[in-house]
Structure 1
Amino acid sequence: MSARRHSLDLSSIGGRLQAERLRIDISQTEAAQLAGMSKGAWIAWESGKSFPDARVLAAFAHAGADVLFIITGQRIKADAIPAQEPLVGVTVRQALAMLDPVDRHRLLLDLLAGELSA
């Protein structure tokens, strides 16, 4: 996927929606499928021409998106999320998406450096 991460407008809901889509590494087509909408609708949301409803945001959150960030511009801290169910069946990508960006970066650096032990 080609990402234009450098030109994101994080001051708008559409820009933050796009940022979260890129962060969880899915295409606009995949995001639209999650939402049960057309790719055109997703593009309109990212461009700020219209806005997704709560059902769409809930589906996007289930895929790993930080909906609080999309709406308010503030990130959820990983330790503020109540543990409701075990992480059984969660993919590595989903687990990484749940981490605070700084913690995710540190973990990935440690993995690359081979400094984690079992």
Structure 2
Amino acid sequence: MSAGNLQQIGERLKSERARVGLSQVALADACGVNRGTLATWEKGEQGASAQILFAMAEQGIDVLFVVTGKRSNESEATLAPAERALLQAWRESGDKGRALLSAAAEVLKPE
């Protein structure tokens, strides 16, 4: 794998970590490594193993996107914890709750 590919993977990993709302320390802890190791992956200096990518996927990281630049189908597995909580709230709420969530979504849409 070329250095350019590792750098692109690192940039996508950093963006995914931000998307799911995890700090470097939190994601490193979830992967069983230290923050410095995660930083080397995000800088594109090294690549993560399949075992680490699996741990990242469990945190909501879209690993297909990190590795290839192509988004996996939007599924619950690729949602950040806060996104997953909103989806669960939608599923568990009645008509009034869904109306409230829909109204909030409309307000949050970019103009």
Calculate the TM-score normalised by the size of structure 2: 0.65
Higher relative contact order (CA 8 A, sep 6+): 2
Q: Secondary structure at the match of 2:72?
A: coil
Q: Does 1:35 align with 2:49?
A: no
Give the CA RMSD over aligned residues: 2.9
5+ residue gaps, structure 2, are: 1-6, 88-100
The CA deviation at 1:76 is 1.0
Rounded to whole Å, the distance in 2 between the matches of 1:17 and 1:53 is: 13
- 1:55 Cα offset (Å): 0.8
- Asked whether 1:24 is paired with 2:17, we answer no
TM-score, normalization by structure 1: 0.62
CA apart distance, 1:109: 7.7
- Equivalenced residue count is 85
| 1:77 alignment partner in structure 2 | 73
Highest Rg: 1 or 2? Answer: 2
- Higher share in helix: 2
Structure 1: unaligned runs, 5 residues or longer = 1-10, 84-89, 99-107
Letter in 2 for 1:36: G
Alignment match, 2:64: 68
> What is residue 82 of structure 2 aligned with on the other side?
93
Q: 1:51 aligns to what?
A: 47
Moved over 4 A (4+): none
